[in-house]
Amino acid sequence: MEILHVSAECYPVAKAGGLGDVVGALPKYQQASGHTAKVVMPMYRTKFLMDNEWDVVHKGYTNLGDWWFTYTVIKERTNKLGFDLYLLDINGLLDRDRIYGYSDDPQRFTAFQISVVDWISAWKHKPEIVHVHDHHAGLIPFMFRYCYRYKHLQNIPTILTIHNAEYQGWMGWDKSNYIPAWDEWKSGMLEWNNTINPLASGIKCAWKVTTVSHSYLDELKHNSNGLEALFEYEKGKSSGILNGIDTKVWDPAVDTYIQDHYSIEDYEEGKLRNKKILCDRFDLQIDKPLIVFIGRLVGEKGADLLPQAVGDSFYYIGRKMNFLILGSGFPAVEAQLNGLQALSRKDYSVYIGYNETLSHIMYAGADFILMPSRVEPCGLNQMYAMRYGTIPIVRNTGGLRDTVIDFGDPGGYGVRFNNTIVGDITQAIWRSVELYQRKEKMKEIREKIMQLDFSWETSVKQYLSLYESIVVQK
């Protein structure tokens, strides 16, 4: 089967979070299982672009409303990622340093999607499945179905995978001229709550919708930033497929970002060596459990509660643990976390910013990883952490609920708590500090989590049967 993925991110080309990891891995594993998977994404100005060689495979001319532009599709020459990677360039619009966060993002991603559809129109043999990810590619199913000039694409089955329904790509109706002329009777298929809503449009128009965990799909019917009724209405074509992790990249035995490798045979020494690197660098104490947080410092991740949770843990539990935080996001949270440094007694540190290498050393050297997420569609951090023998402390939500069982339950191996409130977080930290004292139990849990199977193979099969179900319908 030939699958084309359309996404705003793909690791290692450009990554802002888990979407990049997934789009960098899923096609590779689909390819490995005998299918042809390709990825097309915007051509940002990245190191990967500069460091690699490219062939121009297509040049096209299309429009965003009144603005006519040329776009270029380039292909990486050596199949470095294990699948065909295409970057789409629109001069001045996409070739920027960052992925998101520009005031003209609606124009950027709409022009990107129109160009992708325009490019597919030129393919001799069309892909059998077009798999779009999140709102940045959410208008494509609509364009296939209802834009007059793309009518010939309406039989190509589309799948929308939702990695995060908080962001929906809303645009005012004054931007409706961006979208190539469509059957006006179908305007409702673009709309939600009086705006053009690319995510909602994708949910309505894609042949199938998936979310990145089962629990997240259930939660979206009650909590999805305004789309609750739509998720309830479209539940018949929706399903949850849990993400996997790229076990070739995320493996403490071969991880290229860490220097001290280890495996299940020598993890105790291996983890300790990595912990020492972190303790030396951040002035922490090696004999106390090391609890880390890695992620975007935003409300979804419960990051705003971290400063008080750290303070309360020290106050109520005592200075029995170290904290190390890596992330960036809300300036106020960054400032509070920086401010806490003044209170450190060699037991707290923070690194504000994005640092791939440091994140890998933290997965390897930490004892626990804290994820107090309010919303967590899947969450990759807890799965990476477990593969490195680091115990997850997670809120009972979304993918965290589907991948972590509390160690108090039969067969359990993590620490779970129910509410994103400081009291629950602090209690979970207390339970973790107590657990850390039980050396035998720690050993049992670590050996168990390092061997849990979160590989992509299972998910690849589930996506495939979903694809097959709609290709047959055609």
Which residues of the chain form contacts with ligand ADP (CB under 6 A)?
A: 17-19, 21, 294-296, 326-328, 354-356, 359, 378-381
**133/271 with CB nearer ligand GLC:** 133
Nearer CB in complex with ligand GLC: 290/400: 400
- Distance between CA atoms of 394 and 369, rounded to whole angstroms? 8
Min. distance of Cβ 167 from ligand GLC in angstroms?
A: 9
90 vs 369, beta carbon nearer ligand GLC:
369
378 is a site residue for ligand GLC (CB under 6 A): yes
Alpha-carbon distance of 343 to 198, in angstroms, equals 45
By the rule CB under 6 A, 377 interacts with ligand GLC: yes
Q: How far is the CB of 319 from ligand GLC (least distance, A)?
A: 32
Q: 111: Cβ–Cβ under 8 A, 6 or more apart, which residues?
A: 64, 69, 71, 90, 93, 94, 178
Nearer to ligand GLC, 153 or 394 (CB): 394
Write out the two tokens for 13: 């080309």
Determine which residue in the list 7, 164, 210, 397 makes contact with ligand GLC, applying CB under 6 A: 164
Comparison of 196 and 310: residue with beta carbon closer to ligand ADP: 310
Rounded to an integer, what distance in angstroms lies between the CA atom of residue 386 and that of residue 448?
A: 9
327 binds, among ligand GLC, ligand ADP, none (CB under 5 to 8 A by kind): ligand ADP
Q: What is the 3-state secondary structure (H, E, C) of 194-206?
A: CEECHHHHHHHHC
**Binding status of residue 380 toward ligand GLC by CB under 6 A:** yes
Q: How far apart are CA 48 and CA 51, in angstroms?
A: 5
Q: According to CB under 6 A, which one of 10, 14, 18, 109 is a site residue for ligand GLC?
A: 18
Please work out, in degrees rounded to the nearest 5, the angle formed at the alpha carbon of residue 119 by the alpha carbons of 117 and 125: 100
Please check whether residue 78 is in contact with residue 63, taking contact to mean a CB–CB distance below 8 angstroms.
no
User: How far is the C-alpha of 41 from the C-alpha of 47, rounded, in Å?
Assistant: 15
Residue 133 CB, shortest distance to ligand GLC, in Å, is: 8
Q: Are 292 and 347 in contact (CB under 8 A)?
A: no
Pick between residue 206 and residue 380 the one whose CB is nearest to ligand ADP. Answer: 380
Q: Does 420 bind ligand GLC (CB under 6 A)?
A: no
**Least distance to ligand GLC, CB of residue 23, Å:** 9
Query: Is the Cβ of residue 52 or residue 396 nearer to ligand GLC in the bound state?
Result: 396
Q: How far is the CB of 124 from ligand GLC (least distance, A)?
A: 32
Identify which of residues 284 and 358 has a Cβ nearer to ligand ADP in the complex: 358
Minimum CB–partner distance for residue 153 and ligand GLC (Å)? 26
Mutual angle of helices 267-282 and 356-365, in 10-degree steps = 130
Nearer Cβ to ligand GLC (198/399)? 399
CB of 213 to ligand GLC, least distance (A): 8
Rounded-to-integer distance, Cα 125 and Cα 120, Å:
9
Instruction: Tell me which of 42, 157, 244, 379 binds ligand GLC, using CB under 6 A.
Output: 379
Return the HEC string of 255-304.
Answer: CCCCCCCCCCCCHHHHHHHHHHHHHHHHCCCCCCCEEEEEEEECHHHCHH
Q: Is 313 helix (H, G, I), strand (E, B) or coil?
A: helix
Residue 95: which H helix or E strand, with range?
none
| Binding-site member from 9, 11, 14, 17 for ligand GLC (CB under 6 A) | 17
Residues in contact with ligand GLC, total (CB under 6 A)?
A: 14
Pick from ligand GLC, ligand ADP, none: which does 328 bind, CB < 5 to 8 A by kind?
A: ligand ADP
Q: Strand pairing of 191-192 and 195-196?
A: antiparallel
Q: Tell me the closest approach of the beta carbon of residue 15 to ligand GLC, in angstroms.
A: 10
- Half-sphere exposure for 168 (CA within 13 Å, toward CB): 22
State the sign of the Cα–Cα–Cα–Cα dihedral 354, 360, 366, 370: positive
The binder of 203, among ligand ADP, ligand GLC, none, by C-beta within 5 to 8 A per type, is none
Q: Does residue 131 interact with ligand GLC by CB under 6 A?
A: no
212 binds, among ligand ADP, ligand GLC, none (CB under 5 to 8 A by kind): ligand GLC
Q: For the CB of residue 252, give the shortest distance to ligand ADP in the complex, in Å.
A: 14
d(CA 292, CA 388): 13
Residue 400 — left, alpha, or beta (φ > 0 → left; ψ -120 to 50 → alpha)? alpha
Residue nearest to ligand GLC as judged by C-beta position: 18
Residue nearer to ligand ADP on the CB measure, 26 or 326: 326
Question: CA-CA distance, 283 to 58, in Å (whole number)?
Answer: 53
Closest CA to 446 of 436, 454, 456: 436
Does the protein bind ligand GLC through residue 392 (CB under 6 A)?
Answer: no
Give me the residue whose beta carbon is nearest to ligand ADP: 18
Decide whether 153 or 362 has the Cβ nearer to ligand ADP.
362
**Residue 418: exposed, middle, or buried by beta-carbon count in 10 A (0-12, 13-18, 19+)?**
exposed
Longest dimension (CA), the chain: 68
Residues in contact with ligand GLC by CB under 6 A are 17-19, 22, 163-164, 212, 243, 376-380, 399
